[in-house]
Amino acid sequence: MASYRSIPPTSAVRLAKPTSNLFRARTKRESKGLDTSGLTRVLSVDPDTRTADVAGMCTYEDLVAATLPYGLSPLVVPQLKTITLGGAVSGLGIESASFRNGLPHESVLEMDILTGAGELLTTSRSQHPDLFRAFPNSYGTLGYSTRLRIELEPITPFVALRHLRFGSLTAMIAAAERIIDTGGHSGTPVDYLDGVVFGAAESYLCLGRRTTTPGPVSDYTGKDIYYQSMQHDGVDAAKDDRLTMHDYFWRWDTDWFWCSRAFGAQNPRLRRWWPRRYRRSSVYSKLVAIDRRFGLSDRVEARSVRSPGRPPRERVVQDVEVPIGRACEFLEWFLASVPITPIWLCPLRIRDHDGWPLYPIRPDQTYVNIGFWSSVPTGVTADVTNRSIEARVSELDGHKSLYSDSFYTREQFDELYGGEAYKTVKKSYDPDSRLLDLYAKAVQRR
């Protein structure tokens, strides 16, 4: 509150934080931001009620470390260690428990929010419910969470993994639907579910089952790489694996899914000398930030463009959600149109039947989150691939996450992300527009 009061009334309010998991184009801001250094801790864990009180800027790495000793975890643990709880709630997060537990904001019982008007309000489904429900997907344009009380669930020491290979996208999606509808596969419960597409003829569902049975476990923080471990010969065949619960939560972080290859970290000779403590998403994201700050890759690209056959490239870093019945249609189009693989898949169903106005997906519908993070040769017009992805997702009754570049018109954006509901809440809790408008923050270049 003191930090807020120190910012001149004519200045925009923003967070001053050292890291970010956003990939939107932004210009550097010189204005003073809100001090978040006091909002990084787990405040308490109550094993009896299976709840935790957590400061808004606490990372999931620290949150999981605090709950694991009690045999508990958040209902959804986003896959990168430095994602914060407040960030996952205001910007949406997802993981392999989302097919049964929904999205992180659905397990929030109560939340303290510092609004754009400078008020610190306790919100819940019964206290300031309009702000509570509009907060998810607001990306800090309605306020910032300072404390969140969340549900926890029991876990076990280990996760038994089964990687199922499919020779067609249709068969893979059909199998995912059966697992989601029944909660299991071949008579065995499934607690976690995600997948990877390497191509139209090679895709995998990764089934996780919690277990207390001791035994050997794999380690993907060393020379072995998780996403490569799931690949095997034989269509409709399975490959088994085991991880500790801790390592399962962070299986994607070590190599930033597969994006660490851009830095050479998957080259066996270089990986041998790359310290384990630096094999993590936060290090790679800092390397990306340095690259953007000094424009290193842009300079290299500018030189290469002058070489025959080397067109400039367009960054395509996106997560989209489409109804599971349209997932094959999108994947087939994407593989034929966009030269990016692998592709991450994560099914989800939201739990709260009252819905969330700024991300209006149907509560009775299974969706598939589809993530792809790379670059492609640019087209005749700027951002043509990203724009075509947006259009295709809308045609298939889907949405996309707003952590990266977006290109919607104001009218398209309002139709997809809350429109009048957002404007009403914005006017109530940020009447002087001290915080950016959501369209300005998510779409317009800053």
What residue type is 195 in one-letter code?
G
Shared-domain flag, residues 183 and 227? yes
Q: Is residue 78 part of a domain?
A: yes
pLDDT digits (tens, 9 = 90+) for 217-231: 999 999 999 999 999
In this predicted model, what pLDDT tens digit does every residue of 401-414 receive, in sequence order? 999 999 999 999 99
Does residue 404 fall inside a structural domain?
no
Note whether residue 370 is domain-resident.
Answer: no
Q: 316-331: string of b/e by CB count within 10 Å (b at 16+)?
A: bbbbbbbbbebbbbbb
Burial class (CB in 10 A: 0-12, 13-18, 19+), 306: exposed
Report pLDDT digits (tens) over 84-128: 999 999 998 999 999 999 999 999 999 999 999 999 999 999 999
- Please report whether residue 403 resides in a domain: no
Domain boundary among 251, 267, 284: 251
Could you give the C-alpha distances from 64 to 69, 79, 96, 212, in angstroms and in order?
9, 12, 15, 18
Q: Is residue 139 part of a domain?
A: yes
172 in the same domain as 39: no
Among residues 201, 223, 251, the one where a domain terminates is 251
CB contact at 8 A, 105 and 83? no
Predicted local confidence at residue 299, as pLDDT: 54
State whether the Cα torsion 341-342-348-354 is positive or negative: negative
150 and 175 part of one domain: no
Q: Are residues 76 and 209 in the same domain?
A: no
What pLDDT, on a 0 to 100 scale, did the predictor assign at position 28?
53
Distance of CA 380 to the CA centre of its chain: 30
Query: What are 137-170's pLDDT values in tens digits?
Result: 999 999 999 999 999 999 999 999 999 999 999 9
Are residues 235 and 113 part of one domain? no
Whether 124 and 66 map to the same domain: the answer is yes
Distance CA 321, CA 348 (A): 9
Is 408 inside any structural domain?
A: no
Residue 180: which CATH number?
3.30.70
Residues 28 and 122 in one domain: yes
Count structural domains, the chain.
2
CATH classification of the domain holding 14: 3.30.465.10
Check residue 275 and give its pLDDT: 92
236/117 same-domain check: no
Q: Looking at the domain assignment, is residue 356 inside a domain?
A: no
User: Where are the alpha helices (H) located in 219-344, listed in sequence order?
Assistant: 226-229, 245-249, 268-271, 281-294, 296-305, 324-337
Query: CA–CA separation, 273 vs 209, rounded Å?
Result: 34
Domain co-membership, 16 together with 148:
yes
Q: Please check whether residues 7 and 78 belong to one and the same domain.
A: yes
Q: Which residue has the tokens 């954006």?
A: 413
pLDDT the model gives residue 301: 52
Domain membership of residue 107 as a residue range: 2-155
Contact call for residues 137 and 91 (beta carbons, < 8 A): yes
Identify the three-state secondary structure at position 176: helix
DSSP string, 258-275: TGGGGGTTTSHHHHTTS-
Integer-rounded Cα Rg, in Å, for the chain is 22
Which residues of 15-74 form beta strands (DSSP E)?
Answer: 15-16, 34-35, 42-46, 51-55, 72-74
**In a shared domain, residues 148 and 240:** no
Kindly state whether residues 90 and 172 are assigned to the same domain.
no
**Among residues 251, 282, 305, which one ends one of the domains?**
251
Per run of 10 residues, the mean pLDDT along the chain (length 446 residues) is: 87 73 54 84 98 97 98 97 96 95 97 96 98 96 97 98 98 98 97 98 98 96 96 93 98 96 93 92 87 61 53 88 98 97 97 92 94 89 92 96 94 94 97 94 79
Write phi, then psi, for 375 (nearest 5 degrees).
Answer: -140, 160
Distances in Å between the alpha carbon of 349 and those of 94, 143, 151, 162, 221?
A: 11, 26, 17, 22, 31
> Do the domain assignments include residue 431?
no
pLDDT at 265: 94
Instruction: Tell me which DSSP letter residue 437 carries.
Output: P
Q: CA–CA separation, 269 vs 242, rounded Å? A: 26
